[in-house]
Amino acid sequence: MTTSLLPDWPKAYPDTGASALLKQQNDDFCVEEIPQALPCGEGEHVWLHIEKNGANTAWIAKRLAAHAGVKEMDVGYAGLKDRNAVTRQWFSIYLPRVEAPDFSVLNDAEMTVLSQSRHSKKLRRGDLLGNRFTICLRQVQGERALIESNLAQIKALGVPNYFGEQRFGHGGGNIESGRAMLAGEIRVRNPGKKSIYLSAIRSLIFNNVLAERIRAGLWGQTLAGDIADDSGLSTGPLWGRGRLNSSDDALALESRIAAEQPELCDGLEHAGLKQERRALAALPANLSWQWQEDAGTTDLVLTFSLAAGYYATSVIRELMQVQEPERVNAHDADAVE
């Protein structure tokens, strides 16, 4: 059994003591991208709307590149999606001045091309408004009233906007790899891997700041010196070069947590990342839930939307503990939500 390197970050709401099974089958976790724009019908890039089932985003991108006869860098997508799920997302392929092949010939159990069109721009990471989730939690054990009490609070106030475990790799391994990379103990040549490790370290510091606010009873409250985002939500630091732009009590708390990991903060600064901010709360839009009884077992189906870069697991962890099946995946690239 692998020991996790992840801290036991606190929850915002009472522990329900409930448990359930997650992702027993791929369609227990359904995700649909909410795009910033739709293809206009003309341009140098072919846009594909694809449903994938049990495959990760990078694997699909590699198949598309091979079929189009282009480099993998010519394939764009807005975000990485979970492998063990059914997800719908957009891909773009740079194909100027040539007729696009029929990508639907690639359709199989892992991917289905839903539509194919052209557009003037490449899809880049972050080019989406958010994601819609439909999640089935199976064989729920626990008091329904306690779970629904937390659901009602989440609907009204949101959840702590933690980075999910996907960001940190299996057992939190990306944290140790990132630490070793920043310390010069290992050399990482792959730019994609380097980015993943830097993101894991940055996310660790953010989660630690958020956790401290929860422990101090300051989550969901405005702290003196807070910096708000465009939605008016208080934010925490995504570490990098430059001074923290918070002040007063918020600055003191953020500086204290950062001081606990000086070598990590220094490494992020020397890696060229700049100070940014991220909302401390995630507000699930159109949150609804439905209980289902079948053959003596109870399932809970959740539907909601989250902004880009926010994690559905942050909602689930405030409701119950979940267990996923052990899997041996066909493709070796790790998916990140």
Name the residues annotated as catalytic: 82
CA 125 distance to own-chain centroid = 12
Q: How far apart are CA 102 and CA 134, in angstroms?
A: 30
b/e code 53-85 from CB counts within 10 Å (16+ = b): bbbbbbbbbebbbeebeeeeebbbbbbbbbbbb
Q: How far apart are CA 200 and CA 182, in angstroms?
A: 12
Q: How far apart are CA 259 and CA 50, in angstroms?
A: 44
Q: Are 21 and 139 in contact (CB under 8 A)?
A: yes
CA 121 distance to own-chain centroid = 24
Q: Where are the beta strands (DSSP E) in 71-181?
A: 75-77, 86-94, 111-119, 128-141, 159-160
CA 261 distance to own-chain centroid = 24
Q: How far apart are CA 11 and CA 207, in angstroms?
A: 12
For residue 133, which phi and psi values (nearest 5 degrees)? -120, 140
Q: Nearest Cα to 137, choosing from 289, 5, 13?
A: 289
Q: Residue type at 239?
A: W
Q: Where are the beta strands (DSSP E) in the chain?
A: 19-21, 29-35, 45-53, 75-77, 86-94, 111-119, 128-141, 159-160, 235-238, 276-279, 281-282, 285-294, 297-307, 321-323
Q: How far apart are CA 255 and CA 262, in angstroms?
A: 10
- How far, in Å, are 37, 79, 84, 120 from residue 57 at the CA level? 19, 8, 11, 22
